[in-house]
Structure 1
Amino acid sequence: MKVGYARTSTIDQKAGLDAQRRELEHAGCERIFAEQVSSVDVAKREQLALVLDFVREGDTLVVAKLDRLARSTEHLLEIVRELEAKGAALQVLALNLDTSTPTGKLMLTMLGGIAQFEREIMLERQREGIAKAKAEGKYKGRAPTARAKSAQVLELSDAGKGATEIAEAVGIGRASVYRILRDRA
């Protein structure tokens, strides 16, 4: 049985998710698991966990693109090992890659390494760009959300509320409440 998995990083990418579903259906997937969640947040990738649990011996997990499945080479190889342990294979449509063959396994490992390298280079360039923008005074970072609520925190504190109650009422962390109160002192 061919089982598909589709993922986009954000809810705004509905067209991308729909396109992946069409590709998976065209490839003959009988069941498709789909989600819209960042690959970095593995803990929240519930559909990935479900598809890996669902796949059985003789099945093939099909994805449209490699980056829709794994966040790193290590994660990719972990998924492949899990599939192999079940007697299942992985197929990546965009690469015409199938891990049921020795060549497919080799290519997957090499391509996973290249994809991880590209991501790390991109992140390095991003960090360099942010550092340059900060040095030029063009990058300020995100606005401090907790400090913007200082007046509310101080008002609630003066009314005798505790840190936990203030944090919940204002929608910030307790540490932020303590920081604001410490700054006042």
Structure 2
Amino acid sequence: MAESNCTRLVGYARVSTKDQETRMQIDALRAAGVQDIRQEKCSSVGARPELRKLLSELRHGDVLLVYKMDRIARSLKDLLQILESVKQAGASIRSLTEPLDTTGPIGLFIVQVLGAVAQLERGIIRERAIAGQIAAIKRGIVWGGRKPSLAPDQASMALEMRRQGKTQQEVADHFGVSRSTISRLDSPPKPRLYERRPVLAPYLSSK
């Protein structure tokens, strides 16, 4: 794809380890007419200072070229954030080996599809998380907070001792726990989990 004379091409190449080479990527970028090429050797999960610097230096009309999108992005979410940074700079991005080129309408359409896929993925994850919480509630599992200091049978025994007239401190000393632990046993039960998590209420209205 020919670029106009006023278009500045900027390339980015990355390999995951210091033992690997960026030569193939650089050769492909140079063949595409890129002279300004930034490169780094680091895993996608590590810091990418050259990429961060490159994105901050993009200007209106620039085109950022990469050999493959997985050389610049570590995930779909990361890719969308990078695409947004490029867009905010008034620049475009193009992959040499994939049909992603935001200089044209097809590439922009693909970005919109990727955004929709990401939104769908977030929705699926949210629904799975809610389903897991609901299943836990229905099994009587309470999430969050510290592990109880007393086992269920010990808690029952402690309450029985309280009914027999033992003070909270006496019961606490018997079990080797703090007085506040026994005090909590005497207190009214806490609201059920979904009452402390309003987002779950609509899913549990029939419970």
Q: What does residue 20 of structure 2 align with?
A: 13
Q: Which residue of 1 aligns with 2:107?
A: 104
1-structure distance, mates of 2:114, 2:83: 13
CA distance in 2, matches of 1:96, 1:24: 16
Give 5+ residue unaligned stretches, structure 1.
118-185
User: Which string of whole-angstrom CA distances, capped at 9 and with x for unpartnered residues, describes residues 69-120 of structure 1?
Assistant: 1011111111111111111000000014311223202324656969xx9xxx
In the other structure, the counterpart of 2:86 is 83
* Structure 1: 4+ residue segments shifted above 2 A: 105-114
Deviations 1:143-175 (A, max 9, x none): xxxxxxxxxxxxxxxxxxxxxxxxxxxxxxxxx
Identity value in percent: 41
Q: Which of 53, 72, 92 is residue 69 of structure 1 equivalent to?
A: 72
Paired amino acid for 2:82: I
C-alpha RMSD of matched pairs (Å)? 2.0
Residue 24 of structure 1 is matched in structure 2 by 29
Q: What is the CA distance between 1:30 and its match in structure 2? A: 2.3
C-alpha distance 50-95 of structure 1, shift in aligned 2 (>3 A): same
Q: How many residues align structurally?
A: 111
Residues 24, 65 of structure 1: alpha-carbon distance in 2 compared, 3 angstrom cutoff:
same
Larger radius of gyration: 2
Tell me the secondary structure at the aligned position of residue 19 of structure 2: helix
- TM-score by structure 1 length? 0.55
Matched to 2:105, the amino acid is: P
More helix per residue: 1
